[in-house]
Structure 1
Amino acid sequence: MAVGTLARGLCPAAENGLPMAPAEDDISIDEKRVYAGSAGRTDAYVATGAGIVRVSLSADKIGAFDMVARDPARDVAVLARGDGTDLVVAAAPDGLSVAAVGDDPEFAFVDDDPAVAVGVASGRKGVIVARENGAIERVAFADDGVAIASTTRFGSVADPRAVDGALVAAADGVFRVGEDGLTDVGLDDARDVAGAGMPLAATGAGLYWLGNGWMTAREAAADAVAADGDGHAMAVVDGDLLVHSDASGEWGEETWAVAELPVDEAAVALGYGPGVSVAVTEAGTLCVDAGDGWRHQVVGVRDVNGVALAVVE
């Protein structure tokens, strides 16, 4: 079923006061160090109302986690910069907060304009930021640091909620960010978008993919969606976590299946890293799947707003 039309074309806990309850399938710290040395490390940054929690992952092995910023965060994105240092960018009530990816990230505010959502811009040319007042901007950073190099405003939307790639989710629909400004590409009550690969949208009426106009994947309230740009995607629809799996490139209803998390909690934030899927629940449990089923770790925070993954080594 097609919905609308496309207008013009179209991511030491104890010392920080966090509980250290282990996952049921947790492994020893020594084993984690050995595994990380061979499989590499990815850090998941979780934006919450209490601050930003970083969780170290090596494939589906969950390592140390700690609170790396104590200012409330509404969203978070990781900007990979090739030869330069990657950045973690957080949208916060007090503005845009930025830190360099590494062992000891130090977040600092680079402006004081309240932000509600942030995502990596197409072509990784900085980040797209949705401000509290509805303004949509692209913010680029200095090549050698976290200072803002330029800010470009594209227009404004009503009640922005999420940003991913060139897509913005807002109360009045989905918008595409282009050099000429914002283009309304349809739908209503958009709650989340995925701009990597096949464009996807989670709305109050359902989950949609972009075919000949917006096509319905599921008819029920959808609250979150994420994709890796390589055919893999997840979505939260009617409280269930759905996973897309279809090697032929189809995106219809039959290509989505309910995934059973290892905890009886609703997922609210979704993200992808190299070879891993991450879902964070409303109760503060991080779940990760590297292809062999879900593992989980309670990270001890609630009011979860978003998650983004950064490759560290």
Structure 2
Amino acid sequence: MQTLIEKRVFGEQFGTTEVCIATELGLVVVSVSADQVGEFSLSYKGAVSSVAVTAERVAISTPDGVYTASTDGEEYGEFANQFPSESVAVGFGSTGLFTADSDGVVSRINSDGSVTSLGDTAGVRSIDPPLIAAADSVYRISGDELIEAGLSDVNDVSGIGTPFAATTDGLYTLGNGWMETLDGPFSLVASDGHERAHAVGEDGLFVGVNDVWDAEPFPVDEPISAIAHGSGIVAAVTASGRLCINAGDGWRHQLLGLKRPTSIAVAHGDEISVD
């Protein structure tokens, strides 16, 4: 993705990471240093509906199946089809890579390449193991099965740290059962797994710090299509294809002109320092 010279100069002060964006045209990977946006490239050509990243692998969902590639090295490796059936969502969990098709069937792709079917839903919207957002409920992945965990018309979930669910009725957090945190329709939620989270609702962007939620000004008047935490930054992409980055000192943005972005993930890059 980056040349060695670019890594030295571009990331000398802050370290670098990569932001992966699923779009109608393919997977776009953008080099980021703190809130500075660097070069970007199309790493996979073809419609991509969802993307997930670990320190070693990137996975994408496509109409032709789930493709994965290595993230180790200067460039992403060649994408290989790990699941030759339609996929609308993907997510890495502790026991494997999870995927769902347009019928709401959830499967796990095991490390040996075998596939385990976990169960049916009324339609998966997002996967963030161990949680799944579906039209009829939040589901929890437990071994080789799915367990209904409550709520309905769930648009998004955050499964790391304190669980969150964005629904058409409100934003919920899991404590002694699901508790409403914010009222109104919410479409997106993302968390760093510790003390900070973001959610996108009908009234805009909200930030939660240690369970205290407030509205957060967003730098552009454009709908947010996807949002994610990772490597010390928050990354969001708008419907117009504008990448917005917040590394702790406010939002900065750059129009990339991406067509129909649907999902975003932040790679496990160098930890950012803002000293």
The whole-number CA distance in structure 1 between the counterparts of 2:143 and 2:81 is 26
Q: Which has the higher strand share?
A: 2
Matched, 1:63 2:38: yes
**TM-score (structure 2 length as normaliser):** 0.91
Structure 1 runs, 4 residues or longer, greater than 4 Å off: 30-33
Q: Matches of 1:239 and 1:67 in 2, distance apart?
A: 33
Q: Which amino acid aligns with 1:166?
A: P
Structure-1 residue corresponding to 2:161: 197
Give the equivalent residue in structure 2 for 1:132: 102
| Residues 153-302 of structure 1 mapped to structure 2, 5 A cutoff | 153-246=117-210, 251=211, 255-302=212-259
The answer to whether residue 79 in structure 2 is matched with residue 104 in structure 1 is no
Counterpart of 1:104, as a letter, is: E
The alignment yields a C-alpha RMSD, in angstroms, of: 1.8
Aligned to 1:94: 64
Instruction: Give me the whole-angstrom Cα distance separating, in 1, the residues matched to 2:220 and 2:79.
Output: 31
CA distance in 2, matches of 1:153, 1:63: 40
| Partner residue, 1:34 | 9
Identical aligned residues as a percent: 40
In the alignment, the residues of structure 2 paired with residue 41 and residue 151 of structure 1 have an alpha-carbon distance, to the nearest angstrom, of 34
Q: Is the 8 A contact 2:160 2:191 kept in 1?
A: yes
Unaligned runs of 5+ residues in structure 2 are 271-275
1:117 touches 1:130 (CA, 8 Å); kept in 2?
yes
| 1:256 CA displacement | 1.3
Counterpart of 1:222 in structure 2: which amino acid? F
Q: Tell me by how many angstroms 1:180 deviates.
A: 4.5
Q: Go from structure 1 to structure 2 and tell me whether the alpha carbon gap of 1:212 and 1:137 turns closer, same or farther (over 3 Å shift).
A: same
- Map of 1:73 onto structure 2: 48
Deviation at 1:133, TM superposition (A): 2.4
Secondary structure, counterpart of 1:270 in structure 2: strand
TM-score relative to the length of structure 1: 0.80
3-state DSSP of counterpart to 1:34: helix
Provide the C-alpha distance between the structure 1 equivalents of 2:144 and 2:66, rounded to a whole number of angstroms. Answer: 24
SS in 1 for 2:31: strand
Q: Which amino acid aligns with 1:134?
A: G
Which protein has the bigger helix share?
1
CA distance, structure 1, for counterparts of residue 230 and residue 142 of structure 2: 26
SS at match of 2:11: helix
CA contact (8 A) 2:58 2:69 kept: yes
Would you say the 8 A contact 1:89–1:118 is kept in 2?
yes
